[in-house]
A and B are shown apart, each in its own frame.
Chain A
Amino acid sequence: MLEGLYAAASGMGAQQQQFDAISNDLANVDTPGYQSEIVGFHDLLYSNGGYAGNVATGAGSEASVIGRSQTQGAIEQTGRSLDVAIQGNGYIEVRQADGTIGLTRNGALEMNAQGQLTSQGGDLLQPPVTIPKGVDPANVTIAPNGAVSSGGKQFGKIQLVTVPSPDNLTPVGNSMFSANAASGGISSATGATLQQGALDGSNVDMSQAMATMMTAQQSYSMDSSAIQDQDQMLEIANEIKP
């Protein structure tokens, strides 16, 4: 009896996870390079539940964020020479302030006082690319393969990298991810190219997000009615008196 109560409650918890992920996605519809979160649902253990015979009842469901959507976001033309959109599966590699390597799909690059290219948050590209003094950043050309040049002179190359399991990258905020044991080591990305003067838009699909949110809300309230039903059954059982 009480198994059913908890099964329904676990369903509410799982839908809550879905809500949290969608809220985060919706807050990031305009974040360049943002990849929407994927919530995976699964059922829990089945047990006999103390009943006689060969009966099995499930303990409900559970949900967690299992990865990031790998679909390509819409490429937005910005016309800014230091904006690059990543087409295909790849990340720009940067060295973060704490010295560790970060990966990002946000291609809104900036130039610091020393002429070095940085991510939007000010982290140096890895390997570093320096634009010499006197060269106007507006005249810099970034080729699809990442080569940064101006007037036929190449200054360096923006390296695109990837990991075997992008779903397992650790999000560190600021559109930045870091590699770990579960994601596997960083290697250069084959097939990914850069497009200058554009940004890789957030891949959150608004209509999809709204539809998922409505489904989650309905499931949440159905789980809640299941709890009420179970409560009513316990009440009925309590009415049996000598």
Chain B
Amino acid sequence: MQAEQVQQDQLANDLSNASTPGYKSDTSVQQSFGSMLLANSATGQTIGSLQTGVGLSTPVVNTAAQPLQQTGQPLDFGVQGNGFFAVRTPQGVQYTRDGQFQSNAQGQLVDSNGDQVLSQSGAAITVSSAGTVPASSLGVFNITNVANAGNNLYSGTATGPGTGTVRQGELEGSSVNPETTMVAMITSLRTYQSGENAIQSIDGTMQESAQNVGSIGGG
């Protein structure tokens, strides 16, 4: 049941971010706990194995590239294919697929949090007086160990340039698919309900044994 709660929380977060550019949905992979082998404690005879339920492993960020949407804004950029933009944040260099950039008071290209966008060589990028930046000046990096850091940013390790190409005047959409997310929410809700039913029936069995086992013979 707890596994389903986590799933519901993540699905709600996904739906909440259906409009966030470059958002990548996350999924907690459910895995079974190790099963226990039951044995008779007196004779050592094996009785059988017992499953202990379902647990959750580290969430996996779905990094698949999403279709780019035309915005026509000169400082909107999208990566077509694989790769992330790099930005210099107070927490060090982080990565994003949200290319909704703007220029700051110093005329440098920054993201919507005000963090400098970096070129392939890791330098800041200057916006021309006409308010444009050539798409080729933005760095695209291939990232491993991608983890959500909030604010449309990801932490990870850069392993050289990404294979994607930068497109100007376009933004990547959110990877949240509303239909599948809604269906997953309902499925998860029902699984949660069956978990509750299982608890109740086990409770029933235990109640039966508590009430009746001692009264054998006594009628």
Contacts and interface: CB of A to CB of B under 8 A. Distances in A.
Interface of A: 1, 3-5, 7-8, 10-11, 14-15, 18, 38, 40-46, 49, 51-61, 63, 66-67, 69-71, 88-89, 162-168, 181-185, 189-191, 215-216, 218-219, 222-223, 225-227, 229-230, 232-233, 236-237, 239-240, 242
A89 B23 contact: no
B131 to A, nearest CB: 5
Contacts of B149: 46
B176 to A, nearest CB: 9
Contacts of B104: 164-165, 168, 182, 184
B199 A191 contact: no
Contacts of B105: 163-165, 168, 181-185
Interface in B1-45: 1-2, 4-6, 8-13, 15-21, 23, 26, 28
Contacts of A216: 19
A7 B13 contact: yes
B152 A56 contact: no
A227 B12 CA distance: 8
Given A8-B12, A46-B148, A164-B104, A53 B57 contact: yes
A68 to B, nearest CB: 10
B107 interface: yes
B129 interface: yes
10 closest residue pairs by CB, A with B: A11-B16, A184-B105, A58-B13, A4-B12, A4-B9, A57-B9, A164-B107, A41-B20, A60-B16, A7-B13
B73 A43 contact: no
A236 B199 CA distance: 12
B66 interface: no
Contacts of A67: 102
Interface in B175-219: 178, 181-182, 185-186, 189, 192-193, 196, 199-200, 203
A222 to B, nearest CB: 5
Contacts of B55: 52-53
Contacts of B16: 7-8, 10-11, 14, 58, 60-61, 223, 226
B19 A4 contact: no
Given A42-B151, A43-B152, 14 more contacts: A3-B9, A42-B20, A51-B2, A53-B56, A71-B73, A165-B105, A168-B104, A184-B107, A189-B129, A219-B15, A226-B16, A229-B12, A237-B1, A240-B203
A11 B174 CA distance: 13
A89 B6 contact: no
A182 B105 CA distance: 5
A164 B102 contact: no
A240 B200 contact: yes
26 contacts: A1-B8, A7-B9, A10-B16, A11-B16, A18-B19, A44-B150, A46-B148, A53-B56, A54-B58, A55-B6, A56-B148, A58-B148, A63-B19, A70-B131, A88-B130, A89-B130, A164-B105, A165-B107, A182-B105, A185-B105, A190-B130, A219-B15, A225-B185, A227-B12, A229-B185, A233-B189
